[in-house]
Amino acid sequence: MTSDELKALVGRAALAEIPELPGGAVIGVGTGSTVNCFIDALATVKHKVRAAVSSSEASSARLRAHGIAVVEAAEVERLGVYIDGADEIDPRGHMIKGGGAALTREKIVADLADRFVCIADASKRVEVLGRFPLPVEVIGHAAAQIGRRFAALGGTATLRAGVTTDNGHPILDVRGLAITDPAALEAEINQWPGVVCVGIFARHKASVCLLGTPQGVETLRY
Ligand SMILES: O=C(CO)[C@H](O)[C@H](O)COP(=O)(O)O
């Protein structure tokens, strides 16, 4: 199976994770090519959702194009489920996210949700996070100092060329970190002035991962 076929497989499998509610559920929807497969699958069972809270302009546009209502995060107090992809996921459900530059809104919507359902193809499964460059959304003014802080930890930070987030900020991609304690590193980086959001999702880790493998969907619970 190709990577696109695996993404389509888990996109469809995630439909079963949507709570059954009269009038449909309000769900959180992430960003990326795997989530695009989920959104396209969702369009075939629109009655299951009343509305979605989306983590990016791109996902909002795709949802609306399918006739699915999009509401702002500020309009909801909680969500039963948030469905999103990941760049890496470790054996405890900790993730690196932000390859699509949507990490800040992804963490905001994940924070509203009771459950984070990660959908990913098997290439995203790793033993230790950090082979994928760690995305960090920063205030531009602080980028050089944040880069020096990463260097002190053994990482190399580079500005992602030509990219500004939906919030108007640049992204640093940090290579060379072996993230053996994701929760501690997330907490540390969150203290640095000028960091808007770090793409380690340890506090907001996956509750379940639907992993697309050539043998089918593997369900991993954390
Ligand atoms: O964090 C993300 C966007 O900011 C995505 O979830 C992540 O990059 C995975 O994307 P894809 O499904 O295209 O591999």
Q: Please, what are the domains in the chain?
A: 3-126+203-221 (3.40.50.1360), 134-200 (3.30.70.260)
Q: Is 33 annotated as a binding residue?
A: yes
From the CA of 101, how far away is ligand 1's center (Å)? Answer: 8
Residue-wise pLDDT tens digits, 96-150 = 999 999 999 999 999 999 999 999 999 999 999 999 999 999 999 999 999 999 9
Pairing, β 208-213 against β 216-221: antiparallel
Ranges in the chain, pLDDT < 50:
none
Q: Residue 147: what are its φ and ψ, rounded to 5°?
A: -60, -40
Summarize pLDDT for 56-66 with one digit per residue, the tens.
999 999 999 99
79-84/113-121 β-pairing: parallel
Instruction: Enter the DSSP assignment of 156.
Output: E
Which residues does the annotation mark as catalytic? 106
- ipTM comes to 0.98
pLDDT at residue 202, rounded to an integer: 98
Strand order of the β-sheet with 25-29 is 49-54, 25-29, 79-84, 113-121, 208-213, 216-221
Nearest to 93 by CA among 114, 116, 73: 116
Show contacts of 146-150: CB within 8 Å, 24+ apart.
146/172, 146/192, 146/194, 146/195, 147/172, 149/192, 150/174, 150/177
By most ligand atoms within 8 Å of CB, the mutation choice from 3, 6, 7, 35 for ligand 1 is 35
52 marked as part of a ligand binding site: no
pLDDT of 4 = 95
Share the mean pLDDT of the chain: 97
